[in-house]
């Protein structure tokens, strides 16, 4: 899932561009008649698309195995096609960290009010704490049945927005947004942000290239990577939910490495708490056998989640019971697969019922290899459950190697025997289960949605503004070069 966010610098001014000392010492600072030189980026690292074939170069970057293609079209202009890293924004001042309230429009697809997934809680908390910080928020989503308001944020339902011409767009434009955010794999928010001339931040939540072979043709993976690169190179900043995904996008050269930032994980440790353990809920999840070991899984029931693997796991654990909390397109197939087995499908739960479902289990299992983070794993740990998860994707960040055996266990993806070997001790040893569950709960108390939202709002958005201003200045460089030659203004030192 990709999410662009745009910020209008008029409301939240970014830090001024800093000129390197080497550039300022070698080139006199000159006031031209049109004053174009004052808004341009330093001459040391200009970027432009204009190229001169006769001066094309191919050079190897120092300390890197990658090649950088560059060309020079004039003696004082260096042109590059793509750079692995760009100059970092300067440190924020205290006054910039506590910036003014912003106007924010979130383009969210699928809807965080109807979609069954861990990212639902992420965006609901994001909206909640943006409003708490005084920002004006509007949410445009693809679900028609959304409530009119959510924590004071205005919600607009639309059938879809593959382009910016759908029916409800004028409402978002009338808001005069300072930030536009999209959680979608379309170009709508991208085009709107460019039309409004505001910075764009895109977040990446669903690793689509991993899903494609499961749902459609494998040959579509490469074109999808091209689409992802186009979208994220057009953005001023990209947010990802895990360090593992960040490394993968950097390796794929989706955009400049320092334009890929981490969206810190968070969990509602008050709503997901061991205190919600409930005998009635355990009766329901175990199909009337609460004394049996109970495995729970919460999340969207999709084929990409590798949930069929749990059928073979349960074949080796006949004494255990399993409960699936959630819904999705694969539910019918799963119910047929587990027919005649001690498995319960509750459908979608929310509120206190969901809190009780987590806390009433013994072990949480996550076999998916495609998790960009795994918010349901965080919620299970916050509820005091030990977790057994596939060692893949963002799950590695939740249970790193140095924490394995302390807050949970990881198994080799797709390895049935390894998964069973991690589940058995937890199911049969109550003391071990409680010790690891307590450690998991203590670890989750460190993460807070309010702090994660504040970091994005005050730090990442300001970085996006800085990159956006720099890009605008670089786009003006060819015009500066032309004006310098058209108008021979006298040099004036200042």
What is the pLDDT at residue 293?
Answer: 97
What is the pLDDT at residue 157?
Answer: 74
Which strands, in side-by-side order, build the sheet including 260-262? 2-5, 201-204, 237-240, 260-262
Q: What percent of the chain stands above pLDDT 70?
A: 68
Q: Which residues pair with 424 in a beta bridge?
A: none
Mean pLDDT lowest for which of 40-54, 86-100, 171-185, 233-247?
40-54
Whether pLDDT at 321 is above 60: yes
CB proximity list for 453: less than 8 A, separation 6 or greater: 125, 126, 129, 130, 133, 266
What is the pLDDT at residue 474?
Answer: 74
Q: How far is CA 195 from CA 148, 177, 360, in A?
A: 27, 12, 51
Q: Tell which residue, 215, 385, 221, 419, has the closest CA to residue 310.
A: 419
What is the pLDDT at residue 17?
Answer: 42
CA angle, 41 as apex, 35 and 46 as ends, to 5°?
Answer: 125
Whether pLDDT at 52 is above 60: no
Q: How far is CA 268 from the centre of its chain?
A: 18
Q: How far is CA 321 from CA 89, 203, 292, 343, 429, in A?
A: 53, 37, 7, 6, 16
Q: What percent of the chain stands above pLDDT 90?
A: 36
What is the pLDDT at residue 432?
Answer: 96
The region, left, alpha or beta by phi > 0 then psi within -120 to 50, assigned to residue 481 is alpha
Q: Which residues pair with 114 in a beta bridge?
A: none
Helix or strand run (H / E) with residue 24: helix 21-26
Helix or strand run (H / E) with residue 371: none
Whether pLDDT at 14 is above 80: no
Mean pLDDT lowest for which of 52-56, 283-287, 343-347, 462-466?
52-56
CB proximity list for 354: less than 8 A, separation 6 or greater: 298, 325
On whether the CB atoms of residues 434 and 363 are closer than 8 A, the answer is no
Q: Is 417 strand, coil or helix?
A: helix
Helix or strand run (H / E) with residue 44: none
C-alpha–C-alpha distance, residues 145 and 155, integer Å: 10
Domain-wise residue ranges, the chain: 2-12+99-266+449-473, 274-444
Whether pLDDT at 427 is above 80: yes
What is the pLDDT at residue 99?
Answer: 62
What is the pLDDT at residue 188?
Answer: 65
Q: Tell which residue, 367, 362, 221, has the closest CA to residue 302.
A: 367
Whether pLDDT at 346 is above 80: yes
447-478 pLDDT per residue, tens: 888 888 888 888 888 888 888 888 877 776 67
What is the pLDDT at residue 490?
Answer: 52
CA angle, 490 as apex, 489 and 492 as ends, to 5°?
Answer: 120
CA angle, 232 as apex, 227 and 236 as ends, to 5°?
Answer: 155
| Assigned fold of 2-12+99-266+449-473 | Rossmann fold (3.40.50)
Answer with the residue of higher pLDDT: 373 or 26: 373
225-236 pLDDT per residue, tens: 998 999 899 888
198-212 pLDDT per residue, tens: 778 888 887 888 878
Whether pLDDT at 330 is above 80: yes
What is the pLDDT at residue 97?
Answer: 55
C-alpha–C-alpha distance, residues 297 and 326, integer Å: 8
Q: Tell which residue, 167, 172, 177, has the closest CA to residue 155.
A: 172
Positions of E strands within 118-200: 136-141, 149-150, 153-157, 179-183
Q: Is 393 strand, coil or helix?
A: coil
Q: Looking at residues 318-341, what average pLDDT do you find? A: 95
Q: Decide if 2-12+99-266+449-473 and 274-444 have a common fold.
A: yes
Answer with the residue of higher pLDDT: 195 or 155: 155
Neighbours of 75 (CB within 10 A): 6
The region, left, alpha or beta by phi > 0 then psi within -120 to 50, assigned to residue 333 is alpha
Mean pLDDT lowest for which of 29-43, 244-258, 430-444?
29-43
| Assigned fold of 274-444 | Rossmann fold (3.40.50)
**DSSP state, 286?**
T
Whether pLDDT at 429 is above 50: yes
69-125 pLDDT per residue, tens: 333 333 333 333 455 666 777 766 555 555 678 887 777 776 777 665 666 778 888
220-266 pLDDT per residue, tens: 999 999 989 998 998 888 999 888 889 999 999 999 998 999 888 88
Q: Looking at residues 466-493, what average pLDDT do you find? A: 69
Model confidence band, residue 322 (pLDDT cutoffs 50, 70, 90): very high
Model confidence band, residue 363 (pLDDT cutoffs 50, 70, 90): very high
Residue 490 half-sphere exposure, CB side, CA atoms within 13 Å?
A: 2
């Amino acid at each position: 899932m990709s999410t662009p966010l745009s910020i209008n610098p008029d409301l939240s001014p970014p830090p001024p561009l800093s000129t390197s000392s080497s550039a300022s010492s070698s080139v006199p600072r000159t006031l031209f008649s049109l004053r174009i030189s004052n808004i341009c980026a330093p001459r040391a690292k200009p970027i432009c698309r204009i190229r001169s074939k006769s001066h094309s170069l191919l050079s190897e970057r120092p300390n890197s195995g990658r090649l950088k293609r560059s060309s020079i079209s004039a003696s004082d202009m260096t042109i590059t096609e793509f750079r692995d890293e760009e100059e970092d924004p300067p440190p924020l001042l205290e006054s910039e960290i506590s910036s003014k309230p912003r106007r924010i429009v979130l383009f969210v697809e699928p809807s965080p009010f109807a979609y069954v997934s861990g990212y639902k809680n992420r965006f609901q908390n994001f909206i909640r704490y943006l409003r708490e910080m005084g920002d004006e928020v509007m949410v445009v989503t693809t679900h028609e049945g959304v409530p009119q308001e959510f924590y004071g944020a205005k919600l607009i339902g639309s059938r879809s927005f593959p382009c910016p011409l759908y029916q409800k767009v004028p409402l978002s434009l009338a808001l005069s947004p300072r930030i536009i955010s999209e959680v979608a794999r379309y170009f709508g928010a991208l085009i709107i942000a460019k039309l409004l001339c505001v910075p764009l931040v895109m977040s990446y939540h669903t690793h689509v290239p991993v899903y494609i072979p499961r749902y459609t043709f494998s040959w579509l993976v490469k074109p999808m990577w091209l689409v992802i690169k186009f979208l994220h190179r057009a953005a001023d900043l990209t947010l990802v939910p895990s360090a593992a995904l960040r490394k993968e996008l950097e390796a794929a050269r989706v955009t400049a490495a320092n334009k890929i930032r981490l969206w810190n994980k968070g969990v509602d440790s008050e709503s997901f708490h061991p205190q919600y353990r409930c005998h009635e809920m355990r009766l329901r999840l175990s199909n009337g056998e609460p004394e049996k070991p109970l495995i729970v899984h919460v999340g969207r029931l999709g084929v990409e989640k590798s949930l069929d693997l749990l059928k073979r796991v349960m074949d080796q654990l006949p004494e255990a019971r399993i409960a699936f909390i959630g819904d999705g397109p694969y539910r019918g197939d799963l119910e047929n697969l587990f027919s005649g087995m001690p498995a319960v499908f509750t459908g979608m739960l929310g509120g206190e019922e969901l809190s009780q479902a987590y806390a009433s289990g013994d072990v949480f299992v996550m076999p998916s290899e495609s998790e960009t983070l795994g918010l349901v794993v965080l919620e299970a740990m916050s509820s005091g459950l030990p977790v057994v998860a596939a060692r893949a994707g963002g799950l590695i960040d939740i249970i790193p190697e140095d924490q394995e055996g302390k807050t949970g266990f990881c198994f080799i993806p797709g390895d049935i025997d390894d998964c069973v070997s991690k589940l058995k001790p937890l199911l049969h040893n109550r003391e071990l289960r409680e010790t690891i569950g307590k450690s998991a709960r203590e670890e989750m108390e460190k993460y807070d949605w309010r702090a994660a939202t504040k970091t994005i709002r005050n730090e990442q958005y300001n970085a996006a503004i800085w990159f956006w201003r720099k890009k605008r200045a670089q786009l003006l460089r060819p015009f500066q070069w032309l004006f310098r030659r058209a108008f021979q203004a006298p040099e004036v030192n200042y």
